[in-house]
Amino acid sequence: MKAISFLSAVALLASQTAAHMAMTYPPPLRSKLNPFSSNIDYSITSPMAASGSDFPCKGTLNLLGTKDASPVATWQAGREYNMSIDGGANHNGGSCQAALSFDKGKTFTVIHSYIGNCPVAGASSLKFTLPADTPSAPDAIFAWTWFNNVGNREFYMNCAIITVNGGGGGQTGAASSFSSRPEIFKANINNGCSTLEGSDVMFPNPGPDVTSQSSKTAPPSGNCGPVVSNPGTGTGGGSGGASPAPSSNPVPSNPAPVASSPAAAPSSPVAPVSSQVASQPATPPATSLPGGVFITVPSASSSCDSETKQQTTMVTVNRPSNGSPTTAPAATSVNPSVPTPTLTPPENAQNAMTPGLACTDEGQWLCVQGTHFQRCASGQWSVMMSMAAGTKCVSGSTEFVTWAKKRSHKRAHSRRYRSKHI
């Protein structure tokens, strides 16, 4: 009995120490929250290898050019957004950076640095403003990086694919133009640079936009690049400091279309309707976020000798009116014949809500004709967005959405996952 209790305690401790932190919005490549992920990374909260073998983005950029790397959000240059971080162990915070890459991950340009108290324990949101002169791109890479305060010297990095609209027309100073912003700080990946345990790393070149909440900072050690004067404290753009060294990020020559064509990804709550751009609201949630999450649910099937074509179908699970999370009931039977959604929203579709119309059920999904959807975000309905190819939704609205995936094997297996309320 004692042996069983000891093993249970060890297993619990192992699960807690393994659950670090990860970006949840925008949903990263291979994240279970990313509706395009076909190969879930269940260790997404873990740091990158100390050898640097999976830098950048934990080795997920081999998905570029595939359906798994479809954009999950559409952002407008010059607007304020936020990213969400969640997990089980924040290692007393540390320092983070938000960055963008326009050259398939060869370089990452810093758009905001957070020195100290990043991330906090549990779920949190980090605000930033997309620089006004950010170049347009249909498939830019947005990255969150983190250097923990206590524990092993580690480097965390999650990356998501987004569409950037606009850019090039904003008024910025020479020191804050996108082309003059620094590249991300890199350490603890066998590159000759390391951070000091027990302190929040002071980035040698944090860039012009800095949030500082640290009570104890320390510079990195080793060959970590040139040092730029420390920025001012507080949220928003840091004051003072020399101009950052120019980065060599190339600007894509083919701008993305303006936001008249909504992104096909089921995105988080949207920005003001005037921009019609998918984003998450800048105000962080008080406790938990309402709404839905896409979760892979392998459906039951019988043994078969021939290979069956892989198909996906949307099914819904309704939440009780009292708002308490419940275990998802058995998945409804799905029709193996899945219609392919149209690429553009239907005109004057029945049950569709006018974008910008007030709504009260924050995070609620609205399925339109099985091929498109809208979401209640920041008190108003979002623009209509298309379902991913090979998927459909059930007409009506719900706060839970699961993604059922049917796979063929010579020997069938069936598992059910509980729909997670976020």
pLDDT of residue 36: 97
Tell me the percentage of the chain whose pLDDT exceeds 90.
42
Distance CA 111, CA 241 (A): 16
pLDDT of residue 289: 36
275's tokens: 């921009």
Distance CA 2, CA 241 (A): 60
SS3 content of the chain, % helix, strand, coil (to 5): 5, 25, 70
Return the number of other C-beta atoms located less than 10 Å from residue 319's C-beta.
18
pLDDT of residue 406: 42
What pLDDT digit, counting tens, does each position of 282-294 carry?
Answer: 444 443 333 333 3
pLDDT at 91 over 70: yes
- With cut-offs at 50, 70 and 90, classify the pLDDT of residue 398: low
pLDDT of residue 156: 95
Topology at the third CATH level for domain 18-222:
Coagulation Factor XIII; Chain A, domain 1 (2.70.50)
- With cut-offs at 50, 70 and 90, classify the pLDDT of residue 255: very low
Q: Is the dihedral of CA 323, 292, 99, 157 positive or negative?
A: positive
Classify 12 in phi/psi space as left (phi over 0), alpha (psi -120 to 50) or beta. alpha
| Mean pLDDT, rounded, for 46-57 | 95
What pLDDT digit, counting tens, does each position of 29-38 carry?
Answer: 999 999 999 9
pLDDT at 325 over 70: no
**Bigger pLDDT: 253 vs 375:** 375
pLDDT of residue 60: 97
What pLDDT digit, counting tens, does each position of 202-254 carry?
Answer: 999 999 999 999 999 999 999 987 665 434 333 433 333 333 333 333 333 33
pLDDT of residue 371: 80
Domain boundaries, the chain: 18-222, 259-422
Quote the pTM value.
0.53
Q: Phi then psi for 134, rounded to 5 degrees?
A: -60, 130
What pLDDT digit, counting tens, does each position of 150-192 carry?
Answer: 989 999 999 999 999 976 555 555 557 899 999 999 999 999 9
What pLDDT digit, counting tens, does each position of 121-137 carry?
Answer: 889 999 999 999 999 99
pLDDT of residue 396: 61
pLDDT of residue 239: 31
DSSP track, 25-58: ESPPTT-TT-TT-SS--TTTTSPPPTT-TTTTGG
In 130-209 the beta strands, taken as DSSP E runs, fall at 137-148, 156-165, 193-194, 200-201
pLDDT of residue 64: 98
pLDDT of residue 369: 81
pLDDT of residue 336: 43
**Bigger pLDDT: 150 vs 280:** 150
pLDDT at 198 over 80: yes
pLDDT of residue 166: 77
What pLDDT digit, counting tens, does each position of 65-88 carry?
Answer: 999 999 999 999 999 999 999 987
Of 92-101, 243-252, 313-322, the range with the highest mean pLDDT is 92-101
**What is the rounded average pLDDT for all residues in the chain?**
70
What pLDDT digit, counting tens, does each position of 13-28 carry?
Answer: 443 444 589 999 999 9
Of 87-101, 343-357, 394-408, the range with the highest mean pLDDT is 87-101
Is there a contact between 77 and 133 (Cβ–Cβ < 8 Å)? yes
